[in-house]
Amino acid sequence: MSTNPLLKDFTTPYESVPFEKIELEHYMPAFKESIEKARKEIDVIANSNENPDFKNTIEALEYSGHQLDRVGSVFFNLNHAHTNDEMQALARDISPMLTEFSNDIIMNENLFLRVKSVYENKSNFNLNVEQERLLMDRYKSFVRSGADLDKDKKEKIREISKELSKLTLQFGENVLAATNKYELHLTDKNDVAGLPEGILEGAQGLAKEKEKDGWLFNLQFPSYVPFMQYADSRELREQMFRAYSSRCFNDEFDNQKVIQRIVELRLEKVKLLGYNSYADFVLEERMAKSADKVLGFLNELLEASMPKAKKEFQELQDYAKSLGADFDLQRWDWAYYAEKLKTEKYDINDEITRPFFELNRVKKGIFDLATKLYGLEFKLNSEISKYHKEVDVYEVFDQNGEFISLFYADFHPRSTKQGGAWMTSFTDQYLKNGKDYRPHISIVCNFTRSTETKPSLLTFNEVTTFLHEFGHALHGMLSKCTYSALSGTNVFRDFVELPSQFMENYAFRKEWLDEVAEHYQTGEKIPADLVQKIIDSGNFLSGYSFVRQISFGLNDMTWHSVTEPVNKSVSEFEDEAMASTELFDLVQESCMSTSFSHIFAGGYAAGYYGYKWAEVLDADAFEAFKENGIYDKSTANSFRENVLERGGSEHPMELYLKFRGKEPSIEPLLVRSGLK
């Protein structure tokens, strides 16, 4: 029997990943053997002498490759959350292997003919709604991957897919390397004027880790964001901004040619499949359905928010002038003067609220919220293996004591971790042979670290980020589907953000803040006036925030709506795409596309609009809770049963209608955001 732990049954609690037993040298053999095993499983299905039916073809396909899925989830999750040079090198070799295997399945003519036969005769099989959904998704995945094309076109798609897998991986590696490379080392007290004590203490800690005196700042969010908000030195803010906004642009990690090639290959691939643009291809399988509808939606929001954004911009410009600024506001000035104006207007800023948002306290508050809404209980289990000492692992139980999920929480930045925050899974939920296999869900964040004198104290934005990722986690944990391909967050990309953004609403509710926010030193509950200031300041610069998000969505849609290869520079193309949203002068040697991992290394290509789309859904959904009580059990049960448990087992609009009783309206979002 193999001694490779990835190829053995996990005899751990809940069959959790035995991370401490897995070494780098285990991965490649595990992938090779698992791919070979999966090939044999596919061959059995494709070459069966039985007449094709749902069970022997579609369901058999769904349950094939289980070992490969498990190996892949461990490897790629760690490659994002706890990587190193050797692991990244492995990923560059493994990704093309997986693409090749995936293409072999899609291009297997016998297999496709069986899938097609089941699809064309589906009325004979008495399928339920979820089975119909799986059949339709499986058939479409074959067709949309080229299974119906002639041999030459199939081969071309195979080559394109392989190259794309390498390029998207390279894009993400370049962003991580560029982010990690830059450091701002300061030793003069005058250079750190304006920065709060807690931020300085964190910067001293970073410097000590590198055996340096003074303060060290980098481009990871807990370091970069407060520097831009508080540093009095305009020159250093500009330096930091230029470093952040020029990552992978005309530097040693340049992503410009990578982007142009990715866009070119995506277009070439979908044209072979009969689509005019990559956006047309993607949006066929989204709630939005078409590029025209997305662009109409984004422009409707732009029209609603731009007047307010312009007023806010002028207000901040005037405010800066009143403080002696003898210059027009530039991008590196925005966060700094916005923080000052917010403090003056509402007597609130991150440093005033931080002491009330100690990480463990916030975590308890979020767990308690899940208990109130859904009856969940979280128990820390220190015996379950984890991939890094900072990760916490929880067993999650329902109110009747039934095991629901494992939950991994990884909160702080490391040089081995990509930036941002995300939810993922090591195992998705599914049913097989009457057994409900429960999911193992993880959230990975980059929150402010503790220092020698203070615990981890979160900014308000970090609190909302925690709620957001936890919403995704609940979507994964509470799943009650039959098939893993449809369970949890395996839904349309413009629906997946509903559960996450829904949870953010609680950050602005007095009832929740009163329970969660408590001073880390005195134990004092957050004062009522401070709660009110958080609520009142919720729409501060909301017009600008809207326009900024819309600009990202337009940039994405423009890249992926092209019908011919792009013959402009990346920066020129981006500038034109975002021109209608610009409030600032353009900054030379600045380019956001080259580090826009969501669309060039993640799964949001032609889908970034989904954040705003889901805001319409979440604002409308939360109206139901506002009408009935934000902790109302029956409303929460309906949201759980019709949205969180159902994954992608039905069309998302059908699920939403079952919960809400009507289609979502844009009005609650405009009202909530102070735009109407």
CB atoms within 10 A of CB 597: 20
Cα 305 from chain centre = 24
CB 168 within 8 A of CB 160: no
SS3 assignment, position 196: coil
Closest CA to 526 of 396, 405, 365, 370: 365
Between CA 618 and CA 185 the distance in angstroms is: 42
Q: Where would I find the H helices in 109-233?
A: 109-120, 129-143, 151-181, 197-209, 221-230
Angle at 600 between CA 595 and CA 606, to 5 degrees: 120
Mark whether 252 is an active-site residue: no
Q: Are strands 440-444 and 403-410 parallel, antiparallel or unpaired?
A: parallel
How many Å is the Cα radius of gyration of the chain?
25
Other C-beta atoms closer than 10 Å to the C-beta of 624 total: 16
Give the C-alpha distances (Å, rounded to integers) separating 5 from 2, 12, 90, 212, 608: 8, 11, 18, 41, 38
Closest among 242, 241, 246 to 225, alpha carbons compared: 241
Q: Which amino acid is at 659?
A: F
Which of 107, 143, 115, 108 lies closest to 52 in space, CA to CA? 115
Give the DSSP letter of residue 440: E
- Residue 194 burial class via C-beta count within 10 angstroms: exposed 0-12, middle 13-18, buried 19 and up: middle
- Stretch (H or E) spanning 350: helix 350-353
Q: Residue 184 pairs with which residues in a beta bridge?
A: 217
The SS3 assignment for 83 reads coil
Task: Out of 339, 351, 462, 469, pick the active-site residue.
Answer: 469
Decide: helix, strand or coil at residue 497.
Answer: helix
Nearest to 223 by CA among 538, 462, 507, 551: 462
Percent helix, strand, coil in the chain, to 5, is: 60, 5, 30
Catalytic residues: 469
